[in-house]
Structure 1
């Protein structure tokens, strides 16, 4: 039944055949696997730089040569292939193509060909026009109001009548450049005349809008007042790293900050401002009921350093606008005086021999030689205390200044200044002459403080305006009103 075989114990008969068959099948499978392995070892792309001269190398060379020959055989010829040329387009075809292209947009949207009229088309004797035209124009710098209307298509006579109507409500010069004019032009009887103005509307001023309407053939002006809240805008904050940048971040306009810094510089050193100091600005501000806002100049500037609070209010004194502190003291000026006449120094201050009296005495001023009739100006701001004949001084003018100081101008040929008049530094007060005890045309200039003569060449003065009386009362009332404004307006 069983026998010893190469596979161990095997059965006889049919069983043995079956085992042998299975053994043969195993032998055939191994042969197939070895064939596949040989195929995998076949290199179709031979490296012609290695194993030169071997059978594999020659096979690769033959393959490469065959491929190159095939490519060369299949390559196209070097001669161009002849083909038919399209005929040139005619005029009608070019117009048709142009109508389908983008080019018409560059020629005013011309669409090319147009359909020819047929017997059903009737030519119009006159093309219709719109019954109304709405136009927006802008008033330019130095532009005339009537001129803007005529440029928009309004007739000259009607433009002038419209300008006269507007001028009855507001000066045409007060209308700001850049103002937008909205116009409606109506139907005209024929093309030879300008269109009539049916309506004109614009903002004449911040608080006033104007309309010109046509009623029953006549132009009528309609004024539309606009409610405006003029509560000033108050801005506060800490100086921090920089006063200008901190104020700008808080919302203050640049011009108002520049004015504020200049005002501070007249009362303290800007370099002394610390980072923890607090600034306080009040600026002009207007809010219209229509929503627009307008910011103006600086009205008040304050600085709180903790130990000291500086409050400055803009005030007009004697026609001159300056910044006064809370006590009513204005800008302080320190420095020398202006030279009262264009001339040369002929005699200094001190004891000298008088050329007319014939003896030595104190010369209480300085003399400037100058041609007859040369203008004499005030050396500094002041008020005329005396103007007239003054003994040996001849025609003489004396000015009073702050700090109980006076300046005198003698030997004038003619006096211009009048007693009680306020004069500015550099203002004309008279002309050079030789009146009184004088040997020739010159100006005798003298300076007194508390009644004692001073050398004009060495005087340095400090001058500040001081409010008093009713003016000081109004000043403090205005300051109190502004300080009651809340932050943010």
Structure 2
């Protein structure tokens, strides 16, 4: 009896599920049957405009989603804000009064002569005194700001315009006003004025005009007189030696070498030896341009010499030397190397790069063994670096052609010139004009075809970096060796001995790294 009842209940349940499923499908069948009666708005609302682009790739639905994505990207780019610079009025030169008004509203460091803050006029609540006593003299400190002028500083301190001009003329005869460092402080003493409507007269002015010179202006017998107060200085280079140890940088810093000098030292010697091959027992030798005054100020200059000694013998000796108008590093034998990129042959934009391309005249694909620069007819063409002219004349499809032979197996070629300004065998310098842009040979218009060769094989001109070797000779080599001998004769720490008139030996820093905390870079002073 129980089993037939269970079977009947299962059948009823199954029929119920079918009835519910049919009831859910009925609206869908009705929509499908009446699809032709839907409006375009209903169809658009049912359309999936943002499907998953990872599904049904290549279908109409996928391309519809791709179109939505492209439209959103285009909209975002169209709404991208403009970050172009905002330019002020061209040619509007402010007057002196306008400059002073704008300077009062600038935000500047106090060390550079800040006098920020616009001064407001008194209100009706302020009652002026009938008379007030004045001090017979005023002593103040004025600071020369960046972009400031000497006369303007004096006028801000209270000196009259005419007297400030006279003092400026006197000082300019003793020192270059443009060389006075920003932040230089001037002690100004103003005397008693004859009336309240007149500016106070300048009684005294003192300041440091140069690292080795103080200037003082004093009023003597009613007239201003300038007095020069030279400061004793010492230019002995700073030489620092020590063992490499576990870290060359740390050892050099512990010995008192400036951080900038150590970084330049590592850069120089890394071009001569592998730094990883240095032994802890090797010794470094650093010589830096150094200047100090009897008043205690110090100027630290550039690295002059970089050396590495191993086993009592010099392993690396590099001296900075100026040859041909440019400074570079030379070995003790007088051999120097210059590394860098080649110069630009013409002032113009690159129109065609290196590689395979369809020739504009011949009509088929072939190797374009160079770089084309678009430039107007007659524009000058420059040598990319020093070399010797190995060919200058007509050369087939290249038209008027110039080739320059450089060191290291490199050679550069310049094609389609309108006119050649060099001759065979001529030695040319980097940036020298060797010809002018034209359209000779196989060319569709004025341009320069620039090519580069290494051992007579064409290479991409944009990827090459050159290394040029220079050998000093004659008097230049003799002067070089003399300077090298003078620097190596300097004893380590000789620049740290006390100067005549300086502070006592007990007040001197024990290590150079302690002294550098109160030193300033070259061309700056404290």
Q: Indicate which of 386, 393, 401 corresponds to 1:396.
A: 401
Which digits, 9 at most, give the CA deviation of each residue in 1:13-63, with x for residues without a partner? xxxxxxxxxxxxxxxxxxxxxxxxxxxxxxxxxxxxxxxxxxxxxxxxxxx
Contact preservation (8 Å) 2:144, 2:153:
yes
Q: Indicate which of 249, 261, 265 corresponds to 1:260.
A: 265
Partner of 2:468: 464
Contact preservation (8 Å) 2:388, 2:404:
yes
Structure 1 position 137, deviation (Å): 1.9
State the distance in 1 between where 2:421 and 2:242 align: 51
Which structure has more relative contact order (CA 8 Å, sep 6+)? It is: 2
Contact preservation (8 Å) 1:409, 1:444:
yes
State the distance in 2 between where 1:174 and 1:337 align: 33
Structure 1 position 436, deviation (Å): 4.7
State the distance in 1 between where 2:134 and 2:191 align: 11
Partner of 1:207: 212
State the distance in 2 between where 1:147 and 1:345 align: 56
Structure 1 position 454, deviation (Å): 2.1
3-state SS, counterpart of residue 159 of structure 2:
coil
Tell whether 2:429 aligns with 1:422.
yes
Q: Indicate which of 306, 313, 318 corresponds to 1:312.
A: 318
Structure 1 position 210, deviation (Å): 0.7
Q: 1:365 to 1:448 in 2, by over 3 A?
A: farther
459-468 vs 126-135, greater mean Cα deviation: 459-468
Contact preservation (8 Å) 1:266, 1:331:
no
Q: 1:387 to 1:474 in 2, by over 3 A?
A: farther
Partner of 2:155: 150
Q: 1:440 to 1:293 in 2, by over 3 A?
A: closer
Where does 1:264-275 land on structure 2 (aligned, <5 Å)?
A: 264-275=269-280
Partner of 1:88: none
Tell whether 2:308 aligns with 1:303.
yes
Q: 1:216 to 1:338 in 2, by over 3 A?
A: closer
Per the normalisation by structure 1, the TM-score is 0.62
Structure 1 position 443, deviation (Å): 4.2
Partner of 1:177: 182
State the distance in 1 between where 2:293 and 2:427 align: 45
Partner of 1:8: none
Partner of 2:376: 373
Q: 1:347 to 1:294 in 2, by over 3 A?
A: closer
Structure 1 position 206, deviation (Å): 0.7
Residues matched between the structures, number: 352
Contact preservation (8 Å) 2:372, 2:450:
no
State the distance in 1 between where 2:130 and 2:338 align: 83
Q: 1:173 to 1:417 in 2, by over 3 A?
A: farther
Superposed CA RMSD = 3.8
Partner of 2:228: 223
3-state SS, counterpart of residue 408 of structure 2:
coil
Tell whether 2:237 aligns with 1:232.
yes
Which digits, 9 at most, give the CA deviation of each residue in 1:90-123, with x for residues without a partner? xxxxxxxxxxxxxxxxxxxxxxxxxxxxxxxxxx
**Where in structure 2 are there 5+ consecutive unaligned residues?**
1-128, 495-526
Contact preservation (8 Å) 2:237, 2:290:
yes
3-state SS, counterpart of residue 164 of structure 2:
helix
State the distance in 2 between where 1:403 and 1:456 align: 14
Contact preservation (8 Å) 1:387, 1:395:
no
Task: State the structure with more CA Rg.
Answer: 1
Q: 1:216 to 1:178 in 2, by over 3 A?
A: same
Q: 1:141 to 1:262 in 2, by over 3 A?
A: same
Q: 1:457 to 1:143 in 2, by over 3 A?
A: closer
State the distance in 2 between where 1:390 and 1:488 align: 64
State the distance in 1 between where 2:340 and 2:490 align: 34
Q: 1:263 to 1:437 in 2, by over 3 A?
A: same
Tell whether 2:140 aligns with 1:132.
no
Q: 1:192 to 1:444 in 2, by over 3 A?
A: closer
Q: 1:335 to 1:274 in 2, by over 3 A?
A: farther
Where does 1:93-132 land on structure 2 (aligned, <5 Å)?
A: 126-132=131-137
Q: 1:156 to 1:443 in 2, by over 3 A?
A: closer
Tell whether 2:203 aligns with 1:195.
no
Q: Indicate which of 344, 355, 376 corresponds to 2:352.
A: 344
State the distance in 1 between where 2:216 and 2:430 align: 48
Partner of 1:455: 458
Contact preservation (8 Å) 1:210, 1:224:
yes
Partner of 1:250: 255
State the distance in 1 between where 2:141 and 2:304 align: 37
Tell whether 2:146 aligns with 1:141.
yes
3-state SS, counterpart of residue 148 of structure 2:
coil
3-state SS, counterpart of residue 203 of structure 2:
strand
Structure 1 position 446, deviation (Å): 4.9
Q: 1:271 to 1:415 in 2, by over 3 A?
A: farther
Contact preservation (8 Å) 2:393, 2:420:
no
Q: 1:214 to 1:383 in 2, by over 3 A?
A: farther
State the distance in 2 between where 1:377 and 1:238 align: 52
Partner of 1:385: 389
Structure 1 position 464, deviation (Å): 2.9
Structure 1 position 182, deviation (Å): 1.2
Contact preservation (8 Å) 2:188, 2:204:
yes
